[in-house]
Amino acid sequence: MTAPILQHFIAQRPAGGFDMIMADPPWSFENWSQAGEAKNAKAQYACTSLNWIKDLPVSALAADNAVLWLWATNPMLREAIDVMDSWGFAFKTAGHWVKRTRHGKLAFGTGYILRSAGEPFLIGTRGAPRCARTVRSVVDGPIREHSRKPDEAFVAAEALLPHARRIELFSRQSRPGWESWGDEAGKFDPIDPKEAV
């Protein structure tokens, strides 16, 4: 499984590696009831096993001194830290995306016991990257399509390492200053009206 991905990663890796890696793996986990099936990630895109995610050769992409911004889910925080370890990063801290509706109110999502109004992300390091000390642990931004992350998260990541070579794994939208990888890369890119004709 990982040999073709490793070859692709090596081809995409800049000299010296990426200083910032953001990843939003397609976590697979079971619902507690049938009521949540339509909202499960599996209803939106192909999900993968935890072992498949852990086996990804992400360390081949990373610079000697790098930051990993790993999106997680509340029911799978332990597993997310295991993934971070498997990818060669040491867990350092966590943050949270406070999800807002289009009207600016707190989101009222699914959840186990508590209704989710946010999404966690973990920050890990490899080596000793020189991070800015001005970035807060909360990203406040609107919800959009299923699992689409807010632009505010990318602004925070860019502020954390301003001159970094960056890649987003499991990317769904191209953005300046970032390389993209994933089977849905470019899904949310704006369509040029000239190309739509």
CB 72 within 8 A of CB 80: yes
CB 124 within 8 A of CB 83: no
In order along its 197 residues, the chain shows pLDDT tens digits of 567 777 877 888 889 999 999 999 988 765 555 655 555 454 455 668 899 899 999 999 999 999 999 999 998 999 999 999 999 999 999 999 999 999 999 998 877 788 889 999 999 999 999 999 999 999 999 998 877 899 999 999 999 999 999 999 998 878 899 998 876 655 555 666 565 54
Domains and CATH numbers, the chain: 2-10+18-183 (3.40.50.150)
pTM for the structure as a whole? 0.84
Residue 120 has, within 13 A of its CA and on its CB side, a CA count of 14
State residue 148's pLDDT score. 81
State residue 60's pLDDT score. 93
CB 169 within 8 A of CB 183: no
State residue 43's pLDDT score. 46
d(CA 123, CA 52): 21
Closest C-alpha among 170, 163, 187, 135 to residue 58? 170
